C-alpha cells in the first residue's frame, strides 16, 4: 500500500435516538494522512437498515476515483444501523475495514442489535480481531483484505493515535452537523 493511497472514511453525525428519525453519514476521502480530497454527506435512519446502501452511494459519489479502501468508524451508525461489510465490498470491489480503538462487548452489542431489530447484519459480522500496529492496538472487522493489508492500511492512514485520518475528519465534521 503506497503512502499516497486514498481512503474513504465514514462516520455518522450526532443524533438523539429519542427524537431524531434520521442523521447524517459523512464520507471523507483522504490521500494517506496529508490531503483531504473530497467530502460527501448522506442521510441514514436512526436504528434503521439503510447504512449499507448509503455507504455504497457515498463511495460512488466521491470524486476521488482512486479510493483503495473504505474505512468505517466501527460497525454501527445512527444507533444500531449496522452495515453489511460483505455487500459493500461486493458492490464496490473495494476492501472494507471497520475499526474501533476499544474492544467491543459483543454480547452487549448483540442484545442492542436484537432490541433494535438489526440482527441480520449483526449475525453477518464476525467478532472483531485484535490488530497491533507499531505498538498501537485496534479492533478490526474487514472484507476483501488479509491481516497484512490491514496493517499496511493502518500504517499509511494514521497520523496520530490509532484512528485513520479519514475517519477522524469524518468524525469531526459529523460532530458539527
Question: CA 67: distance to chain centroid?
Answer: 14
Structural domain for 26, as ranges: 6-176
Enumerate the β-bridge partners of residue 25. 12, 42
How far is it, in rounded angstroms, from Cα 155 to Cα 149? 10
- The reported pLDDT for the residue numbered 53 is 97
Would residue 162 count as lying in a domain?
yes
The answer to whether residue 35 sits within a structural domain is: yes
Q: Is the pLDDT of residue 18 over 90?
A: no
Cell of 122: 449483526
H or E segment at 58?
helix 51-61
**CA–CA dist 153, 5 (Å, integer):** 9
Q: Is 1 domain-assigned?
A: no
Number of domains in the chain: 1
Spatial CA neighbour of 94 closest among 128, 48, 47, 59? 59
Percent of the chain with pLDDT over 70: 97
pLDDT at 118 over 90: no
pLDDT at 177 over 90: no
CB 63 within 8 A of CB 37: yes
In this model, does residue 3 exceed pLDDT 80? Answer: no
For residue 2, the model assigns a pLDDT of 60
Query: For residues 63 and 95, is the Cβ–Cβ distance under 8 A?
Result: no
Q: How far apart are CA 22 and CA 150, in angstroms?
A: 31
The answer to whether position 144 is within a domain reads: yes
CB 19 within 8 A of CB 46: no
What CATH number should be reported for the domain holding residue 79? 3.30.2170.10
CA trace torsion 10, 85, 90, 57 (10° rounding): -30
Residue 59: what pLDDT? Answer: 96
Asked whether residue 113 is domain-assigned, the answer is: yes
Q: What confidence score (pLDDT) does residue 117 get?
A: 85
Q: Does 102 reside within a domain?
A: yes
Amino acid at each position: 500500500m503506497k503512502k499516497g493511497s486514498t481512503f474513504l472514511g465514514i462516520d455518522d453525525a450526532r443524533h438523539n435516538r429519542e427524537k431524531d428519525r434520521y442523521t447524517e453519514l459523512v464520507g471523507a476521502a483522504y490521500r494517506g494522512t496529508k490531503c483531504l480530497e473530497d467530502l460527501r454527506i448522506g442521510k441514514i435512519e436512526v436504528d434503521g437498515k439503510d447504512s449499507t446502501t448509503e455507504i455504497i452511494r457515498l463511495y460512488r459519489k466521491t470524486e476521488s476515483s482512486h479510493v483503495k479502501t473504505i474505512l468505517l468508524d466501527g460497525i454501527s451508525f445512527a444507533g444500531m444501523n449496522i452495515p453489511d461489510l460483505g455487500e459493500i465490498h461486493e458492490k464496490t470491489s473495494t476492501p472494507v475495514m471497520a475499526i474501533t480503538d476499544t474492544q467491543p462487548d459483543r454480547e452487549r452489542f448483540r442484545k442492542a442489535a436484537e432490541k433494535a431489530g438489526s440482527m441480520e447484519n449483526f449475525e453477518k459480522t464476525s467478532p472483531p480481531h485484535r490488530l497491533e500496529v507499531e505498538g498501537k492496538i485496534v479492533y478490526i472487522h474487514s472484507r476483501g483484505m488479509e491481516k497484512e493489508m490491514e496493517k499496511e492500511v493502518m500504517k499509511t492512514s494514521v497520523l496520530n493515535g490509532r484512528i485513520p485520518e479519514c475517519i477522524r475528519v469524518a468524525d469531526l465534521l459529523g460532530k458539527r452537523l
